[in-house]
Amino acid sequence: MPTHILRFSVAVLMQRTPLANRWASERWDPVAVLPVPAGAAGAQAPVCVRNDAACTQWRFDGHALELHRSEAEGYHLNLVAPEPKVFVAWRTHEDPMDPPVFPVSVTVSYNEAARAMDGGERVDAVPMPDDVRDWMVPFVTEHYKPEPRRKVRRNDPFAADAPPRARGRS
């Protein structure tokens, strides 16, 4: 694996909340991303970890956060936000299954999450665990380089790089 890509194993906790609504009987949402200890088992079948009148929660193991140099700006934007988040893209099964939802991917990049939403994915944000934040900071510090600010000249017909028409003709 290239040294510029880092992985952090996580599990996604999805929750079903019953609704008193005539259009929908329940709502599904990701509610947490949980760090998985190194060496823990990989992808497994989802596990029901809570089932009572208030809600039902399913744990989905086998996911990983990845850090790529090309996404450093998106990670930086997330870390400097008042409340850093982990973004979970998820879908509903087309066939009846239990649970009827499943996470597709997880990311800590604002930009990657926005691209997924632009592509039609359902993406929700959950609070970022401190372990994930602590893992990200050295990577972002090393790889994020802000774009230098550039002077912007607006509508200056006498600027050297203005088209000939704008400068006037002799």
At 22-48, the pLDDT tens digits run 898 889 999 999 998 766 656 678 999
β-strand pairing of 85-92 with 101-107: antiparallel
In this structure, how many other beta carbons lie within 10 angstroms of the beta carbon of residue 122?
Answer: 16
CB 79 within 8 A of CB 133: yes
CB 139 within 8 A of CB 67: yes
**pLDDT for position 2:** 47
Rounded CA-CA distance 135/133 in Å is: 5
Mean pLDDT value across residues 84-99: 91
Nearest residue to 88 (alpha-carbon basis) of 74, 100, 76, 102: 102
Greater confidence, 42 or 49?
49
Q: Report pLDDT digits (tens) over 111-160.
A: 999 999 999 999 999 999 999 999 999 999 999 988 777 776 677 666 66
**pLDDT for position 162:** 60
pTM of structure: 0.81
Q: Over 60: is that where the pLDDT of 166 sits?
A: no
**pLDDT for position 63:** 93
pLDDT band for position 1 (50/70/90)? Answer: very low
Q: Report pLDDT digits (tens) over 61-86.
A: 999 999 999 999 999 999 999 999 99
